[in-house]
Each structure stands twice: as structure tokens, then as C-alpha cells.
A = this chain, B = another copy of it.
Amino acid sequence: MLEMRKENSSNALNAKELYETCGMAIAVRILGGRWKPGIIWHLGNGRIRYGHLKSLIPNISERMLVQQLKELEKYGFVERFAFPEVPPRVEYALTEEGKTLLPIVRSLAAWGDTQRDKIKLPV
């Protein structure tokens, strides 16, 4: 079952208002979270199978991987290709829209790399 949001909480309302006025908040909402950066990064190299993607992202659980892929798919940034085989084979790829993320993702990554030795993130 999909996890429900409380659509009328202050939390949710605040988020909504932000997205209406701040493009950066939208971008960070899409890219944010623990795992999406890695997923998008790897998908930037081309179409890739579910299991392979999982192996490329250390520690990610199946629950998280599926959940994030679904979200990205829902927004139209990722496309899913399922083959009618047993055992199943499923491939994921960035859509054309998803590929517009790549330049940003790459500049984020480059900037982040410059910070690694400068700052100490809590945890």
C-alpha cells in the first residue's frame, strides 16, 4: 500500500506553497532524499536492469529502490521496461525529461566533491 500523506497538515500545506513560489524547492524535492541522487546518477549512464542498479548502490534496500524508482517514474523522469520472462527482467532508464536533469546533477556532484574535504557533515 502506498504511504499516505496527510494532505491538510501544516507540513504538507507549507510544502505546497513553497513549490508554488520557489523553483529551487521543486528541484530539491525531486532530487532530494537519501537515494535519488545515486539512482539518477547511475541511470545517467543508460538503461539498466533493476538488479544491477541495486548492486551499484551499496546498502540500498529493495523497498527503498522500488519506492524511489516508482516516484521518479510517476513524475515522468524514469521509464520502466518489463520483459515477460521468468524470472522477470525489468530495465529502467531516464526519459527525455529525465535527461534534462543530467547537467544539474553533474554540477551538483562536482560541487559536492569540492566540499568533501572542507566540511564535516553530521553523520
Chain A residues with CB under 8 Å of chain B are: 5, 7, 10, 12, 14-34, 36-38, 40-41, 58-59, 75-76, 97, 100-101, 103-105, 107-116, 118-119, 121-123
A60 vs B109: C-alpha distance when bound (angstroms): 29
In the complex, the answer to whether B76 meets A29 with C-beta atoms within 8 Å is: no
Partner of A37 from the list B24, B100, B103 (CB cut-off 8 Å) is B24
A113 vs B28: C-alpha distance when bound (angstroms): 12
Closest Cβ–Cβ distance, residue A31 to chain B (whole Å): 6
Secondary structure class of chain A's binding surface, majority of residues: helix
A119 vs B38: C-alpha distance when bound (angstroms): 21
In the complex, the answer to whether A104 meets B109 with C-beta atoms within 8 Å is: no
Which chain B residues border A59 with CB–CB below 8 Å? 10, 14, 17
A20 (CB) vs chain B CBs: closest residue: B116
